[in-house]
Structure 1
Amino acid sequence: MRIIKLNAIDSTNLFLRSLSIDTNVEDFTVVVAKHQTKGRGQMGTVWSSQDAKNLTFSVFKRLVNLKLDQHFVISMVASLAVINTLKKLNLPKLSVKWPNDILSANKKICGILIENVIKQNNVSATVVGIGLNVNQVNFSNLPQASSLLNVTGISYDLDELLQSILKELEILFDLVESNHFKTIKTTYESYLFRKDKPSTFKNEEGLFSGFIKGVSNEGLLEVLLEDNILKTFDLKTIKLLY
Protein backbone atom coordinates (compact mmCIF):
# COMPACT_ATOMS: atom_id res chain seq x y z
CA MET A 1 0.00 0.00 0.00
CA ARG A 2 1.33 3.41 -1.00
CA ILE A 3 0.07 6.49 0.87
CA ILE A 4 0.55 9.95 -0.66
CA LYS A 5 -0.02 12.80 1.80
CA LEU A 6 -0.75 16.27 0.46
CA ASN A 7 -1.30 19.59 2.19
CA ALA A 8 -3.77 20.85 -0.42
CA ILE A 9 -5.30 19.55 -3.63
CA ASP A 10 -8.37 20.32 -5.72
CA SER A 11 -9.78 16.82 -5.19
CA THR A 12 -8.14 13.58 -4.09
CA ASN A 13 -10.36 11.67 -6.51
CA LEU A 14 -9.33 13.89 -9.44
CA PHE A 15 -5.67 13.57 -8.44
CA LEU A 16 -5.82 9.76 -8.33
CA ARG A 17 -7.80 9.48 -11.57
CA SER A 18 -5.28 11.68 -13.38
CA LEU A 19 -2.41 9.71 -11.87
CA SER A 20 -3.94 6.41 -13.03
CA ILE A 21 -4.24 7.72 -16.58
CA ASP A 22 -0.64 8.94 -16.75
CA THR A 23 1.10 6.16 -14.79
CA ASN A 24 0.73 2.53 -13.78
CA VAL A 25 -0.68 3.19 -10.31
CA GLU A 26 0.06 0.59 -7.65
CA ASP A 27 -2.99 -1.26 -6.35
CA PHE A 28 -4.38 0.29 -3.16
CA THR A 29 -2.62 3.62 -3.64
CA VAL A 30 -4.05 6.16 -1.18
CA VAL A 31 -4.09 9.94 -1.49
CA VAL A 32 -4.95 11.89 1.66
CA ALA A 33 -5.18 15.70 1.82
CA LYS A 34 -5.39 18.18 4.66
CA HIS A 35 -7.41 20.49 2.42
CA GLN A 36 -9.46 20.01 -0.74
CA THR A 37 -10.33 23.10 -2.78
CA LYS A 38 -12.88 21.28 -4.95
CA GLY A 39 -14.06 18.33 -2.88
CA ARG A 40 -17.05 16.65 -4.54
CA GLY A 41 -20.00 14.57 -3.46
CA GLN A 42 -22.68 12.57 -5.25
CA MET A 43 -24.53 14.15 -8.19
CA GLY A 44 -22.02 16.99 -8.51
CA THR A 45 -22.53 18.38 -5.00
CA VAL A 46 -19.70 20.16 -3.20
CA TRP A 47 -18.05 18.64 -0.12
CA SER A 48 -17.05 21.43 2.29
CA SER A 49 -14.41 20.73 4.92
CA GLN A 50 -12.23 22.76 7.30
CA ASP A 51 -8.47 22.42 6.91
CA ALA A 52 -6.85 19.57 8.87
CA LYS A 53 -10.03 18.95 10.87
CA ASN A 54 -11.44 16.09 8.84
CA LEU A 55 -10.35 13.00 6.95
CA THR A 56 -10.44 13.41 3.17
CA PHE A 57 -8.83 10.69 1.09
CA SER A 58 -9.18 8.49 -1.98
CA VAL A 59 -8.15 4.91 -2.67
CA PHE A 60 -7.28 3.38 -6.05
CA LYS A 61 -8.28 -0.30 -6.22
CA ARG A 62 -7.82 -2.67 -9.13
CA LEU A 63 -10.58 -5.20 -9.66
CA VAL A 64 -10.66 -8.54 -11.47
CA ASN A 65 -13.73 -9.88 -13.29
CA LEU A 66 -16.16 -7.46 -11.65
CA LYS A 67 -19.06 -7.14 -14.09
CA LEU A 68 -20.56 -3.75 -14.78
CA ASP A 69 -23.90 -4.73 -13.26
CA GLN A 70 -22.09 -5.64 -10.03
CA HIS A 71 -20.55 -2.18 -9.58
CA PHE A 72 -22.72 -1.27 -6.56
CA VAL A 73 -20.78 -3.72 -4.39
CA ILE A 74 -17.98 -1.11 -4.36
CA SER A 75 -20.32 1.44 -2.79
CA MET A 76 -21.45 -1.12 -0.22
CA VAL A 77 -17.85 -2.03 0.63
CA ALA A 78 -16.89 1.62 1.14
CA SER A 79 -19.94 2.24 3.34
CA LEU A 80 -19.28 -0.81 5.49
CA ALA A 81 -15.59 0.02 5.88
CA VAL A 82 -16.57 3.34 7.46
CA ILE A 83 -19.40 1.78 9.49
CA ASN A 84 -17.13 -0.97 10.87
CA THR A 85 -14.51 1.59 11.88
CA LEU A 86 -17.03 3.83 13.62
CA LYS A 87 -18.63 0.87 15.42
CA LYS A 88 -15.30 0.30 17.18
CA LEU A 89 -15.51 3.90 18.42
CA ASN A 90 -19.03 3.31 19.76
CA LEU A 91 -20.66 5.92 17.53
CA PRO A 92 -24.42 5.78 18.21
CA LYS A 93 -27.17 4.87 15.75
CA LEU A 94 -25.01 4.26 12.69
CA SER A 95 -26.81 3.93 9.37
CA VAL A 96 -26.34 4.32 5.62
CA LYS A 97 -28.59 6.79 3.82
CA TRP A 98 -28.79 5.25 0.38
CA PRO A 99 -26.60 5.00 -1.54
CA ASN A 100 -23.61 5.77 0.71
CA ASP A 101 -24.01 8.69 3.12
CA ILE A 102 -23.02 7.58 6.61
CA LEU A 103 -25.19 8.86 9.44
CA SER A 104 -24.86 8.82 13.21
CA ALA A 105 -28.00 9.67 15.17
CA ASN A 106 -29.60 10.80 11.88
CA LYS A 107 -26.83 13.34 11.16
CA LYS A 108 -24.53 13.00 8.14
CA ILE A 109 -20.92 12.51 9.18
CA CYS A 110 -19.45 10.95 6.04
CA GLY A 111 -19.86 11.15 2.27
CA ILE A 112 -18.50 8.73 -0.31
CA LEU A 113 -17.85 9.24 -4.02
CA ILE A 114 -17.19 6.22 -6.26
CA GLU A 115 -15.65 6.68 -9.72
CA ASN A 116 -15.08 3.53 -11.74
CA VAL A 117 -12.83 2.65 -14.66
CA ILE A 118 -14.81 0.60 -17.19
CA LYS A 119 -13.19 -1.71 -19.73
CA GLN A 120 -15.02 -4.22 -21.96
CA ASN A 121 -18.17 -4.22 -19.81
CA ASN A 122 -16.17 -4.88 -16.63
CA VAL A 123 -15.10 -2.58 -13.80
CA SER A 124 -11.31 -2.84 -14.06
CA ALA A 125 -10.54 -0.35 -11.27
CA THR A 126 -12.21 2.12 -8.95
CA VAL A 127 -11.37 5.30 -7.10
CA VAL A 128 -13.13 5.44 -3.73
CA GLY A 129 -13.28 8.93 -2.26
CA ILE A 130 -14.20 9.28 1.43
CA GLY A 131 -14.85 12.46 3.36
CA LEU A 132 -15.33 11.89 7.08
CA ASN A 133 -16.21 14.78 9.40
CA VAL A 134 -13.97 14.23 12.41
CA ASN A 135 -12.94 17.23 14.52
CA GLN A 136 -14.91 20.02 12.82
CA VAL A 137 -17.52 21.61 15.10
CA ASN A 138 -19.42 24.18 13.03
CA PHE A 139 -21.30 23.37 9.81
CA SER A 140 -22.87 26.63 8.66
CA ASN A 141 -25.99 26.22 6.50
CA LEU A 142 -25.73 22.44 6.78
CA PRO A 143 -28.29 21.52 9.47
CA GLN A 144 -28.07 17.78 8.77
CA ALA A 145 -24.26 17.63 9.04
CA SER A 146 -22.27 16.64 12.11
CA SER A 147 -18.90 15.17 13.09
CA LEU A 148 -17.40 12.55 15.36
CA LEU A 149 -16.40 15.29 17.80
CA ASN A 150 -19.91 16.74 17.86
CA VAL A 151 -21.49 13.32 18.39
CA THR A 152 -19.11 11.95 21.03
CA GLY A 153 -17.33 14.98 22.50
CA ILE A 154 -14.00 13.29 21.72
CA SER A 155 -11.21 14.52 19.40
CA TYR A 156 -9.74 11.85 17.14
CA ASP A 157 -6.38 11.19 15.49
CA LEU A 158 -6.88 11.40 11.71
CA ASP A 159 -4.05 8.98 10.88
CA GLU A 160 -5.44 6.31 13.19
CA LEU A 161 -8.88 6.64 11.60
CA LEU A 162 -7.35 6.43 8.13
CA GLN A 163 -5.46 3.23 8.96
CA SER A 164 -8.57 1.65 10.47
CA ILE A 165 -10.74 2.41 7.43
CA LEU A 166 -8.04 1.17 5.03
CA LYS A 167 -7.76 -2.10 6.95
CA GLU A 168 -11.53 -2.57 6.71
CA LEU A 169 -11.45 -1.79 2.99
CA GLU A 170 -8.80 -4.46 2.44
CA ILE A 171 -10.88 -7.07 4.31
CA LEU A 172 -14.06 -6.20 2.43
CA PHE A 173 -12.42 -6.08 -1.02
CA ASP A 174 -11.04 -9.56 -0.27
CA LEU A 175 -14.67 -10.65 0.16
CA VAL A 176 -15.49 -9.13 -3.23
CA GLU A 177 -12.65 -11.02 -4.88
CA SER A 178 -13.90 -14.27 -3.32
CA ASN A 179 -17.45 -13.53 -4.58
CA HIS A 180 -19.11 -13.02 -1.19
CA PHE A 181 -21.57 -10.53 -2.67
CA LYS A 182 -24.59 -11.81 -0.75
CA THR A 183 -22.86 -11.41 2.62
CA ILE A 184 -21.85 -7.84 1.79
CA LYS A 185 -25.32 -6.94 0.51
CA THR A 186 -27.13 -8.43 3.53
CA THR A 187 -24.88 -6.56 5.95
CA TYR A 188 -25.22 -3.30 4.00
CA GLU A 189 -29.02 -3.57 3.92
CA SER A 190 -29.10 -4.11 7.69
CA TYR A 191 -27.73 -0.57 8.11
CA LEU A 192 -30.06 1.16 5.63
CA PHE A 193 -31.48 4.39 7.04
CA ARG A 194 -35.27 4.13 7.66
CA LYS A 195 -35.40 0.52 6.46
CA ASP A 196 -38.89 -0.93 7.04
CA LYS A 197 -40.13 2.41 8.42
CA PRO A 198 -42.83 4.58 6.81
CA SER A 199 -40.88 7.19 4.83
CA THR A 200 -41.59 10.11 2.53
CA PHE A 201 -39.91 10.37 -0.87
CA LYS A 202 -39.82 12.95 -3.61
CA ASN A 203 -39.61 12.40 -7.35
CA GLU A 204 -40.47 14.49 -10.41
CA GLU A 205 -44.17 13.76 -9.86
CA GLY A 206 -44.18 14.99 -6.24
CA LEU A 207 -44.23 13.40 -2.78
CA PHE A 208 -45.14 9.80 -2.03
CA SER A 209 -44.84 7.36 0.87
CA GLY A 210 -43.33 3.92 1.11
CA PHE A 211 -41.11 1.51 3.02
CA ILE A 212 -37.45 0.94 2.14
CA LYS A 213 -36.95 -2.83 1.83
CA GLY A 214 -33.41 -3.05 0.47
CA VAL A 215 -31.41 -2.58 -2.73
CA SER A 216 -31.30 -4.52 -5.97
CA ASN A 217 -28.09 -6.23 -7.08
CA GLU A 218 -27.52 -3.21 -9.35
CA GLY A 219 -27.88 -0.79 -6.42
CA LEU A 220 -31.39 0.50 -7.10
CA LEU A 221 -33.43 1.37 -4.02
CA GLU A 222 -36.30 -1.06 -3.39
CA VAL A 223 -39.38 0.67 -1.99
CA LEU A 224 -42.65 -1.01 -1.00
CA LEU A 225 -45.53 1.20 -2.16
CA GLU A 226 -49.28 1.12 -1.65
CA ASP A 227 -51.09 -2.04 -2.74
CA ASN A 228 -47.98 -4.05 -1.80
CA ILE A 229 -46.09 -3.04 -4.96
CA LEU A 230 -42.28 -3.27 -4.76
CA LYS A 231 -40.66 -0.71 -7.04
CA THR A 232 -37.01 0.12 -7.69
CA PHE A 233 -35.63 3.64 -8.07
CA ASP A 234 -32.43 5.08 -9.48
CA LEU A 235 -30.48 7.74 -7.54
CA LYS A 236 -31.32 10.39 -10.14
CA THR A 237 -35.07 9.82 -9.90
CA ILE A 238 -35.80 9.79 -6.16
CA LYS A 239 -34.91 11.62 -2.95
CA LEU A 240 -35.53 10.33 0.55
CA LEU A 241 -36.70 13.17 2.77
CA TYR A 242 -35.60 13.20 6.41
Structure 2
Amino acid sequence: MKLIKLDAIDSTNDFLKALSSHDELDNFTVVTAENQTKGKGQMGSKWESESGKNLIMSVLVKDFLYDNEQVFNISIIVSLAVIKTLKELDIPDLSIKWPNDIMSYNKKIGGILIENTIKSDGRIVSVVGLGLNVNQVNFEFLPNASSMAVISGKSYDKDVLPELIIEKIQQKIESWQTKSTDFWKKYYNTLFRKGVPMPFKNLQNQNFMGIIQGVSSVGKLQVLLEDDSVSEFDIKEIQMLY
Protein backbone atom coordinates (compact mmCIF):
# COMPACT_ATOMS: atom_id res chain seq x y z
CA MET A 1 0.00 0.00 0.00
CA LYS A 2 1.51 3.30 -1.13
CA LEU A 3 0.52 6.11 1.26
CA ILE A 4 0.56 9.83 0.45
CA LYS A 5 0.01 11.94 3.57
CA LEU A 6 -1.09 15.55 3.19
CA ASP A 7 -1.58 18.26 5.78
CA ALA A 8 -4.45 20.04 4.03
CA ILE A 9 -6.16 19.63 0.68
CA ASP A 10 -9.41 20.74 -0.92
CA SER A 11 -10.49 17.13 -1.60
CA THR A 12 -8.51 13.89 -1.34
CA ASN A 13 -10.74 12.39 -4.05
CA ASP A 14 -9.98 15.25 -6.45
CA PHE A 15 -6.26 15.08 -5.63
CA LEU A 16 -6.10 11.33 -6.25
CA LYS A 17 -8.15 11.57 -9.46
CA ALA A 18 -5.81 14.23 -10.81
CA LEU A 19 -2.74 12.21 -9.79
CA SER A 20 -4.04 9.02 -11.37
CA SER A 21 -4.75 10.76 -14.67
CA HIS A 22 -1.08 11.69 -15.07
CA ASP A 23 0.84 8.89 -13.34
CA GLU A 24 0.55 5.13 -13.51
CA LEU A 25 -0.23 4.79 -9.81
CA ASP A 26 -0.07 1.51 -7.93
CA ASN A 27 -3.37 -0.15 -7.18
CA PHE A 28 -4.58 0.73 -3.66
CA THR A 29 -2.58 3.96 -3.51
CA VAL A 30 -3.96 5.90 -0.53
CA VAL A 31 -4.11 9.65 0.08
CA THR A 32 -4.88 10.95 3.59
CA ALA A 33 -5.28 14.50 4.86
CA GLU A 34 -5.45 16.11 8.27
CA ASN A 35 -7.81 18.74 6.95
CA GLN A 36 -10.06 18.82 3.89
CA THR A 37 -11.56 22.13 2.84
CA LYS A 38 -13.99 20.89 0.19
CA GLY A 39 -14.89 17.39 1.31
CA LYS A 40 -17.76 15.89 -0.67
CA GLY A 41 -20.61 13.61 0.28
CA GLN A 42 -23.36 12.00 -1.76
CA MET A 43 -25.32 14.27 -4.12
CA GLY A 44 -22.81 17.10 -3.73
CA SER A 45 -23.34 17.54 0.00
CA LYS A 46 -20.41 18.83 2.05
CA TRP A 47 -18.53 16.55 4.43
CA GLU A 48 -17.71 18.48 7.62
CA SER A 49 -14.71 17.34 9.65
CA GLU A 50 -12.74 18.87 12.52
CA SER A 51 -9.08 19.26 11.53
CA GLY A 52 -6.74 16.53 12.76
CA LYS A 53 -9.43 14.55 14.57
CA ASN A 54 -10.80 12.24 11.89
CA LEU A 55 -9.79 9.89 9.11
CA ILE A 56 -9.97 11.52 5.70
CA MET A 57 -8.72 9.21 2.96
CA SER A 58 -9.09 8.21 -0.66
CA VAL A 59 -7.91 4.99 -2.25
CA LEU A 60 -7.39 4.06 -5.90
CA VAL A 61 -9.00 0.76 -6.89
CA LYS A 62 -8.46 -0.66 -10.36
CA ASP A 63 -8.49 -4.04 -12.10
CA PHE A 64 -11.74 -4.97 -10.36
CA LEU A 65 -14.64 -3.45 -12.27
CA TYR A 66 -15.03 -4.09 -15.99
CA ASP A 67 -18.78 -3.60 -16.47
CA ASN A 68 -20.68 -0.40 -15.74
CA GLU A 69 -23.63 -2.51 -14.56
CA GLN A 70 -21.48 -3.86 -11.72
CA VAL A 71 -20.16 -0.64 -10.21
CA PHE A 72 -22.20 -1.08 -7.03
CA ASN A 73 -20.02 -4.08 -6.16
CA ILE A 74 -17.25 -1.73 -5.04
CA SER A 75 -19.70 -0.01 -2.66
CA ILE A 76 -20.49 -3.35 -1.08
CA ILE A 77 -16.82 -4.28 -0.69
CA VAL A 78 -15.75 -0.96 0.83
CA SER A 79 -18.68 -0.55 3.22
CA LEU A 80 -18.30 -4.12 4.50
CA ALA A 81 -14.54 -3.62 4.91
CA VAL A 82 -15.14 -0.50 7.03
CA ILE A 83 -17.82 -2.27 9.08
CA LYS A 84 -15.51 -5.22 9.76
CA THR A 85 -12.68 -2.92 10.82
CA LEU A 86 -14.95 -1.06 13.24
CA LYS A 87 -16.32 -4.31 14.67
CA GLU A 88 -12.78 -5.41 15.44
CA LEU A 89 -12.35 -2.11 17.32
CA ASP A 90 -15.51 -2.88 19.36
CA ILE A 91 -17.70 -0.14 17.88
CA PRO A 92 -21.25 -1.37 18.63
CA ASP A 93 -24.51 -1.62 16.68
CA LEU A 94 -23.06 -0.98 13.23
CA SER A 95 -25.11 -0.72 10.06
CA ILE A 96 -24.95 0.66 6.51
CA LYS A 97 -27.40 3.40 5.60
CA TRP A 98 -27.94 2.89 1.90
CA PRO A 99 -25.93 3.25 -0.17
CA ASN A 100 -22.83 3.48 2.02
CA ASP A 101 -23.08 5.68 5.10
CA ILE A 102 -21.64 4.01 8.17
CA MET A 103 -23.93 4.12 11.20
CA SER A 104 -23.54 3.23 14.86
CA TYR A 105 -26.91 3.04 16.58
CA ASN A 106 -28.82 5.77 14.68
CA LYS A 107 -25.86 8.14 14.26
CA LYS A 108 -23.68 8.59 11.18
CA ILE A 109 -20.00 8.05 11.92
CA GLY A 110 -18.71 7.67 8.37
CA GLY A 111 -19.45 8.31 4.74
CA ILE A 112 -18.14 6.80 1.52
CA LEU A 113 -18.08 8.53 -1.86
CA ILE A 114 -17.03 6.45 -4.87
CA GLU A 115 -16.21 8.13 -8.17
CA ASN A 116 -15.70 5.86 -11.19
CA THR A 117 -13.89 6.72 -14.42
CA ILE A 118 -14.17 4.65 -17.58
CA LYS A 119 -10.82 4.55 -19.38
CA SER A 120 -10.43 4.48 -23.18
CA ASP A 121 -9.76 0.73 -23.09
CA GLY A 122 -13.00 0.09 -21.16
CA ARG A 123 -11.41 -0.40 -17.76
CA ILE A 124 -13.19 1.21 -14.80
CA VAL A 125 -10.98 2.95 -12.26
CA SER A 126 -12.50 3.85 -8.90
CA VAL A 127 -11.46 6.54 -6.46
CA VAL A 128 -12.97 5.65 -3.11
CA GLY A 129 -13.27 8.46 -0.59
CA LEU A 130 -13.87 7.70 3.07
CA GLY A 131 -14.56 10.13 5.87
CA LEU A 132 -14.66 8.48 9.29
CA ASN A 133 -15.35 10.40 12.50
CA VAL A 134 -12.71 9.09 14.87
CA ASN A 135 -11.76 11.46 17.73
CA GLN A 136 -14.05 14.42 17.13
CA VAL A 137 -16.46 14.91 20.04
CA ASN A 138 -18.25 18.16 19.18
CA PHE A 139 -21.25 17.67 16.89
CA GLU A 140 -23.30 20.65 18.07
CA PHE A 141 -24.51 21.51 14.56
CA LEU A 142 -24.66 17.92 13.27
CA PRO A 143 -27.38 16.25 15.36
CA ASN A 144 -27.36 13.02 13.33
CA ALA A 145 -23.57 12.57 13.51
CA SER A 146 -21.29 10.95 16.06
CA SER A 147 -17.82 9.43 16.25
CA MET A 148 -15.93 6.37 17.39
CA ALA A 149 -14.68 8.33 20.43
CA VAL A 150 -18.15 9.53 21.48
CA ILE A 151 -19.69 6.09 21.12
CA SER A 152 -16.92 4.09 22.79
CA GLY A 153 -15.70 6.67 25.31
CA LYS A 154 -12.06 6.32 24.23
CA SER A 155 -9.70 7.83 21.68
CA TYR A 156 -8.05 6.05 18.74
CA ASP A 157 -4.87 6.21 16.69
CA LYS A 158 -6.43 7.17 13.37
CA ASP A 159 -3.15 6.62 11.50
CA VAL A 160 -3.47 2.83 11.80
CA LEU A 161 -6.94 2.76 10.26
CA PRO A 162 -6.06 3.08 6.55
CA GLU A 163 -3.93 -0.06 6.54
CA LEU A 164 -6.59 -2.04 8.43
CA ILE A 165 -9.31 -0.96 6.02
CA ILE A 166 -7.25 -1.44 2.84
CA GLU A 167 -6.25 -4.92 3.95
CA LYS A 168 -9.91 -5.89 4.20
CA ILE A 169 -10.79 -4.27 0.87
CA GLN A 170 -8.04 -6.28 -0.80
CA GLN A 171 -9.18 -9.50 0.85
CA LYS A 172 -12.76 -9.00 -0.31
CA ILE A 173 -11.72 -8.14 -3.86
CA GLU A 174 -9.51 -11.25 -4.02
CA SER A 175 -12.37 -13.49 -2.89
CA TRP A 176 -15.16 -11.70 -4.80
CA GLN A 177 -15.49 -14.35 -7.51
CA THR A 178 -16.30 -17.09 -5.00
CA LYS A 179 -17.99 -15.05 -2.26
CA SER A 180 -19.95 -12.33 -4.07
CA THR A 181 -23.31 -13.85 -3.11
CA ASP A 182 -22.24 -13.97 0.54
CA PHE A 183 -21.08 -10.35 0.41
CA TRP A 184 -24.37 -9.18 -1.11
CA LYS A 185 -26.27 -11.06 1.60
CA LYS A 186 -24.10 -9.57 4.33
CA TYR A 187 -24.61 -6.09 2.88
CA TYR A 188 -28.38 -6.57 2.93
CA ASN A 189 -28.31 -7.97 6.47
CA THR A 190 -26.32 -4.92 7.60
CA LEU A 191 -28.69 -2.35 6.05
CA PHE A 192 -29.91 0.39 8.37
CA ARG A 193 -33.65 0.21 9.11
CA LYS A 194 -34.35 -2.65 6.70
CA GLY A 195 -37.72 -4.37 7.08
CA VAL A 196 -39.35 -1.68 9.24
CA PRO A 197 -41.83 1.05 8.21
CA MET A 198 -40.12 4.42 7.92
CA PRO A 199 -40.63 7.79 6.23
CA PHE A 200 -38.98 8.84 2.97
CA LYS A 201 -39.00 11.97 0.81
CA ASN A 202 -39.06 11.90 -3.01
CA LEU A 203 -37.86 14.33 -5.67
CA GLN A 204 -41.16 16.20 -5.52
CA ASN A 205 -40.52 16.88 -1.81
CA GLN A 206 -43.40 14.58 -0.87
CA ASN A 207 -43.16 12.41 2.22
CA PHE A 208 -44.29 8.80 2.10
CA MET A 209 -43.97 5.62 4.14
CA GLY A 210 -42.13 2.54 2.95
CA ILE A 211 -40.24 -0.56 4.02
CA ILE A 212 -36.74 -1.32 2.70
CA GLN A 213 -36.82 -4.68 0.95
CA GLY A 214 -33.34 -4.84 -0.52
CA VAL A 215 -30.99 -3.41 -3.12
CA SER A 216 -31.01 -4.20 -6.84
CA SER A 217 -27.97 -5.50 -8.73
CA VAL A 218 -27.18 -1.96 -9.90
CA GLY A 219 -27.54 -0.50 -6.40
CA LYS A 220 -31.06 0.89 -6.42
CA LEU A 221 -32.98 0.81 -3.15
CA GLN A 222 -36.04 -1.43 -3.27
CA VAL A 223 -38.89 -0.10 -1.14
CA LEU A 224 -42.26 -1.69 -0.40
CA LEU A 225 -44.89 1.05 -0.66
CA GLU A 226 -48.25 1.36 1.07
CA ASP A 227 -50.08 0.01 -2.00
CA ASP A 228 -48.01 -3.22 -1.69
CA SER A 229 -45.96 -2.43 -4.80
CA VAL A 230 -42.16 -2.42 -4.73
CA SER A 231 -40.38 0.54 -6.33
CA GLU A 232 -36.68 1.03 -7.01
CA PHE A 233 -34.98 4.35 -6.30
CA ASP A 234 -31.59 5.75 -7.27
CA ILE A 235 -29.51 7.73 -4.78
CA LYS A 236 -30.77 11.04 -6.17
CA GLU A 237 -34.41 10.02 -6.17
CA ILE A 238 -35.11 9.36 -2.50
CA GLN A 239 -34.13 10.62 0.93
CA MET A 240 -34.45 8.54 4.06
CA LEU A 241 -35.96 10.47 7.00
CA TYR A 242 -34.91 9.20 10.41
Conserved? CA contact 2:200–2:207, under 8 Å: yes
Q: Secondary structure at the match of 2:175?
A: helix
C-alpha separation in 1, matches of 2:216 and 2:108: 24
Provide the rounded CA distance (Å) in 1 between the counterparts of 2:77 and 2:235. Answer: 18
Matched, 1:240 2:205: no
Question: Who is 2:95 aligned against?
Answer: 95
SS in 1 for 2:81: helix
Match of 2:183 in 1: 184
Match of 1:143 in 2: 143
RMSD between superposed Cα atoms in Å = 1.5
Q: What is the TM-score when the length of structure 1 is the normalising length?
A: 0.95
Look up the match of 1:195. 194
C-alpha displacement of 1:93 = 1.1
For 1:4, the equivalent position in structure 2 comes to 4
**Counterpart amino acid of 1:195?**
K
Distance 1:110 1:121 in 2: 33
1:71 and 1:123 in contact (8 A); partners too: no
TM-score by length of 2: 0.95
> What amino acid maps onto 1:63 in structure 2?
D
- What are the ranges of 5 or more consecutive residues in structure 1 without an aligned counterpart? none
1:81 aligns with 2:81: yes
**How far 1:120 sits from its partner (Å)?**
6.3
Please give the per-residue CA displacement for 1:115-151, whole angstroms capped at 9, x wherever unaligned.
Answer: 0111369552100000000000102311001000000
Aligned pairs (5 A) from 1:1-242? 1-64=1-64, 66-119=66-119, 122=122, 124-176=124-176, 178=177, 180-205=179-204, 206-242=206-242
Contact 1:117 1:126 in 2 (8 A): yes
* Superimposed CA distance per residue, residues 90-119 of structure 1 (whole angstroms, 9 cap, x where no aligned partner): 212111111110000110000111001113
* SS across alignment from 1:146: coil
Cα distance in 1 between the residues matched to 2:114 and 2:94: 21
**Cα–Cα, structure 1 residues 122 and 188, in superposed 2: closer, same or farther, change >3 Å?**
farther
Cα pair 1:222 1:231 within 8 Å, conserved: yes
Partners of 2:29 and 2:41 lie apart in 1 by: 21
How far is the alpha carbon of 1:204 from its aligned partner? 3.0
**Cα distance in 1, alignment partners of residues 232 and 201 from structure 2:** 14
Matched AA of 2:151: V
**Kept after mapping to 2: 8 A contact 1:222/1:233:** yes
Q: How many residues align?
A: 241
Q: Tell me the distance in 2 between the aligned counterparts of 1:62 and 1:89.
A: 28
Paired with 1:12 and 1:195, the residues of 2 have a C-alpha distance of: 32
Contact between 2:65 and 2:71, CA under 8 Å: does it hold in 1?
A: no
Deviation at 1:180, TM superposition (A): 3.5
1:39 to 1:175, Cα distance in 2 relative to 1, 3 A: same
